[in-house]
Structure 1
Amino acid sequence: LAQTSLLEQKINSILKNKKATVGVSVLGFENGFKYDKNGDKKLPMQSVFKFHIAAAVLNAVDQGKLSLHQKIMLNPSNLLENTWSPLRDKYPAGNVEIPLSEVIEYTVAKSDNNGCDILLRLLGGTQVVQKFMDSKGVKGFQIKYNEEDMHKDWNVQYENYSTTKSAADVLKKLYDGKLLSKKSTDYLMKVMLSTSTGLNKMVEQLPKNTPVARKTGASGKNNAGLTGAENEIGIVTLPNGKHYA
């Protein structure tokens, strides 16, 4: 109880005089610790949804529909300009085949927007991701639009939402092996541990070299100076071996 009220105090002091809607959920995997602030609020995920997309792709791998080794063709039609894409920067001319694993790694660890939409096309659209999450009992989650859609219309980001409770729950499901096979779980955890985006978020607040398997999301600002979302979800492994989402 003391832990919870201390957390509440700290969060409230950070939020003082801020015009922001903030959702926080903490879930202790071993000790069952729970803390939620606006945990049921539907908040725009932005690039956090790349976690859910990658999980759906790996589910298709588990089912034998896709393979991590299969080749994906990169070309000018799927390497769009004017969007965050380290993949395009690496292969500016396109017309190259790379393994599906590389697309997943760029999409999750480097938050590549083109990689994200390549994965969604491969799966058959956002509804396949939604169906997979529904089938695993993930509540408070909706995905309707891809990255290209979000770049065209600021407002559609609000249709790709998650509650923070849902995010903590899906990470626990991943950790418990309830989302994917052992092999795919280990692979996705490894990719998330190598995430290089948002180093000023969760990682900065933790003891140096604390392993965090994470996915970030950020909307940038619109013309009115509004930030739609600044997000991060992750599994933290503390020095004592305990895990928290």
Structure 2
Amino acid sequence: MLKSRLFIVLLLLPVWSAAQHTAAPSAKTKSLQNLRQQLDQYTQLAQGRVGMAATVLETGESVSIRGDERFPMQSVYKFPIGMAVLHQVDQGKVTLDQLCHVDKSEYVGRQQHSPLRDSLPNGSDIRIGDLLRYAVSQSDGSASDVLMHLAGGPMAVMAYLKSLAIRNIRVMNTEKELGQDNAVQYANWATPTDMVSLLKALQQGRGLSPASRAFLLRLMTETPTGPNRLKGLLPPATVVAHKTGSSGTLANLTAATNDVGLITLPNGHHLAIAVFVSDSKADTPTREAVIANLAKVVWEHWR
């Protein structure tokens, strides 16, 4: 009887040992858990809803928070609009040097950001390449509306995104419409995960020619907007091609403080990251610091 019991114990011992080995988290799992804990600490400071997704494009390593939830884009949507216009350039329908007449009636309201309107109050003939620079680099609302019309309107932009298998980004309204009704911004949304997918498409050259891709990346790298967001806590020499988005504050609630982009890591890999801070009660420095700290945490994790 004793021998039989001993045999059973010895027989079960390898199974028990294997179960114990399987249950122990791997170093990679522990590392990801630690990363999530660090990210969660900063999202709580926003006093609102924070969504983010980040992927190292060369390795596929990724992390997300509310990655499949919808967030208002605000001016981030000028990034997909810019891609759609450059696709028109690639198809030979327009050229960057082509002049486009901009009438002053097309300008957004005075409360909205528009260097184009401020510098040329009576309207003018503008190169399409310059309109892209105004819209993407300077986040100009008037230029964005002209470009959306040039691309064929919201449905044409959406069709372009669909051709890239991007289904969770919605471009539905003009900047002028966004400025007239605070609620409209929520109809122009993106999920962090699909915004990262669009950044991945840009980096990999899908949907744009090499020349158009290089032009858009240059505009996104040269932008002066959002210095305290994705770029805020990274080393000064870090290359960041990004697009910001910001709403106004109504009843102490800020609907959108956003930044999405491609960060070049020290090892040459590319980090696609999208951060959306929505419906926040925190002040501007705090909201921007949340974005900067999230970017810093993932940069340090994968650098």
TM-score where L is the length of structure 1: 0.95
Q: Which residue of 1 aligns with 2:171?
A: 143
5+ residue gaps, structure 1, are: none
Q: Please state how far the C-alpha of 1:72 moved relative to its aligned partner.
A: 1.4
Aligned counterpart for 2:255 among listed residues 219, 228, 233: 228
Q: Deviations over 1:170-217 (max 9, x none)?
A: 111111111211111111111111111111101012111201010000
Q: Which residue of 2 aligns with 1:214?
A: 242
Aligned counterpart for 1:22 among listed residues 47, 50, 55: 50
TM-score where L is the length of structure 2: 0.77
Task: Give me the CA root mean square deviation.
Answer: 1.3
Q: Deviations over 1:142-182 (max 9, x none)?
A: 11111111111111111111100001111111111112111
Aligned counterpart for 2:114 among listed residues 72, 75, 85: 85
Counterpart of 1:141 in 2: which secondary structure?
coil
CA 1:211–1:3 in 2, change beyond 3 Å: closer, same or farther? farther
d(CA) in 1 for partners of 2:230, 2:86: 26
Q: Please state how far the C-alpha of 1:17 moved relative to its aligned partner.
A: 6.0
d(CA) in 1 for partners of 2:71, 2:109: 27
Q: Which residue of 1 aligns with 2:61?
A: 33
Q: Which residue of 2 aligns with 1:156?
A: 184
Q: Please state how far the C-alpha of 1:14 moved relative to its aligned partner.
A: 1.5
Aligned counterpart for 2:135 among listed residues 86, 98, 107: 107
d(CA) in 2 for partners of 1:218, 1:10: 25
d(CA) in 1 for partners of 2:90, 2:150: 15
Q: How many residues align?
A: 243
Query: Would you say the 8 A contact 2:108–2:175 is kept in 1?
Result: no
> Does 1:123 find its partner at 2:146?
no
Structure with higher helix content: 2
CA 1:55–1:17 in 2, change beyond 3 Å: closer, same or farther? closer
5+ residue gaps, structure 2, are: 1-27, 273-303
Q: Please state how far the C-alpha of 1:79 moved relative to its aligned partner.
A: 2.7
d(CA) in 1 for partners of 2:192, 2:126: 34
Query: Would you say the 8 A contact 2:247–2:256 is kept in 1?
Result: yes
Q: Deviations over 1:63-105 (max 9, x none)?
A: 11111111012332123441200112222332x2121000001
Q: Which residue of 1 aligns with 2:100?
A: 72
Please tell me whether Structure 1 or Structure 2 has the larger radius of gyration of its CA atoms.
Answer: 2
Counterpart of 2:255 in 1: which secondary structure?
coil
Q: Please state how far the C-alpha of 1:18 moved relative to its aligned partner.
A: 4.5
d(CA) in 1 for partners of 2:109, 2:171: 23
Q: Please state how far the C-alpha of 1:15 moved relative to its aligned partner.
A: 2.7
Counterpart of 1:144 in 2: which secondary structure?
coil
Identity across the alignment (%):
37
> Does 1:190 find its partner at 2:218?
yes
d(CA) in 2 for partners of 1:174, 1:209: 22
One-letter identity of the residue aligned with 1:204? G
Q: Which residue of 2 aligns with 1:62?
A: 90
